[in-house]
Amino acid sequence: MLFKEFTVLLNPQSRKIVFGICLNAIGGGMTLSLLLVYLHDMRGFTNTFGGLLLAYGSIVSIISSTPMGALVDRIGPKKVMIGGLLLNSAAAFSLSQVQTHFHAILAITFINIAGQAIWPSQSVILTRVTPEKDRSKVFGFNFMLLNLGLGMGGLLSSLIIQGGDLLSFQIMYWVDASTFLLYLLIVLSLHGENVNAYIPKENEPKTGSYKDLFEIKPLMLLGIAGIILFTFGYGTIQAGIPVFATQFLGLSPKWLGIIFGVNTISIVLFQPLVMRILEKFSKYTALISIGLVWALSWLFVGIAPYLPLFASGIALSLSQLVFAVGEMIQAPTIPTLANELAPEHIRGRANAWMSLQWSVSGVLGPAITGLMLGADMATTWVIVMFIGCFLSIPIFLAMKKAAMKRG
């Protein structure tokens, strides 16, 4: 019933975009978590190189986000998405054939540049084609379908790589490349002013710049708070929980599928319900609650070492259930608010600015985690993560004050 309530909000164009994102996520779900395994076991690269490669990819994303955002504003999101999807498909296929370190670096470079072309573009299109009153729900529903796709991809990968040979890994990357091409066909079917370069009205600026963006104080604060929040959330969860669970708690690697599976399934099942609850609160209240919820998830991580082995696995699973609640709050709230604060002529730049939450936290989170867990400071690591979740709250409060002044 709740699912149907949100699907009726989609129009033909937004339906195509969210379906394309879900389809594309299937390919990502197959390959993202297995990249280091593939490079190490199938190609003979060291884990150190793999880790540095991921950090390098995040740096490429940071560097490329600025020009990609400007390009979206200049030529329109559809054209940028076409280029990004073609590039990402080619790069995903090239990973299946990688032989040298240079080849791997080149593929990751193109994948991250393409990602910065795709994500701001699809966010701009989804914002344009959705009435303002429905945007939070549509972004939330999109996040649910994204996780559904990632979960399906993870399931497919477990079936494909059962043999553990090179061909099975290559098939995964071929499927991943194909999902980008299928998404490309969907984007090519989109038409109208909502997917092309914005044509300003008579009383609107003809061009925009990042200077215009930086003058919008609430938007700047939203991005900074998001970077901090994501660093102590996404940036550390993916890098730290697998190591913490297996090396510090002694859990079997099989537990990781359960722990992260709880997260994905929770989002797919409960995102519509969370959206209904969010309707009763302001977006600023929702923003503040994210840090509180994620701090609670770290409490479950913190108690895990003091429990019997099986119970510690349950505690980590519960931590990901609670973390998922925070995700279900942030997914519809942050992008909706960012696009509300940004004028149409710089919306591409605004979404590029917001994408830094992922890329910057993708560098800082694993770096902090690696240093602390590498020094056997697991307890201190959990405490730092717990405290870090609160650091975004005063910035969100300052943002609310700035937004009220702005009117």
How far apart, in whole angstroms, are the C-alpha atoms of residue 298 and residue 304?
A: 10
How far apart, in whole angstroms, are the C-alpha atoms of residue 91 and residue 111?
A: 6
DSSP state of 252: -
Contact yes or no for 183/372 (Cβ under 8 A): no
For the entire predicted model, the pTM comes to 0.89
Q: What is the pLDDT of residue 4?
A: 67
Contact yes or no for 297/320 (Cβ under 8 A): yes
Contact yes or no for 350/341 (Cβ under 8 A): yes
- Positions in the chain short of pLDDT 70: 1-6, 202, 204, 206, 407
Q: What is the pLDDT of residue 51?
A: 79
Domains and CATH numbers, the chain: 1-197 (1.20.1250.20), 208-407 (1.20.1250.20)
Helix (H, G, I), strand (E, B) or coil at 100: coil
**Burial code of 91-128, b = ≥16 C-beta within 10 A, e = fewer?**
bbbbbbebeeeeebbebbebbbbbbbbbbbbbbbbbbb
Q: What is the pLDDT of residue 311?
A: 96
How far apart, in whole angstroms, are the C-alpha atoms of residue 149 and residue 353?
A: 25
Q: What is the pLDDT of residue 1?
A: 45
Q: What is the pLDDT of residue 328?
A: 95
Contacts of 104 (CB under 8 A, 6+ apart): 39, 43, 45, 49, 53, 95, 98
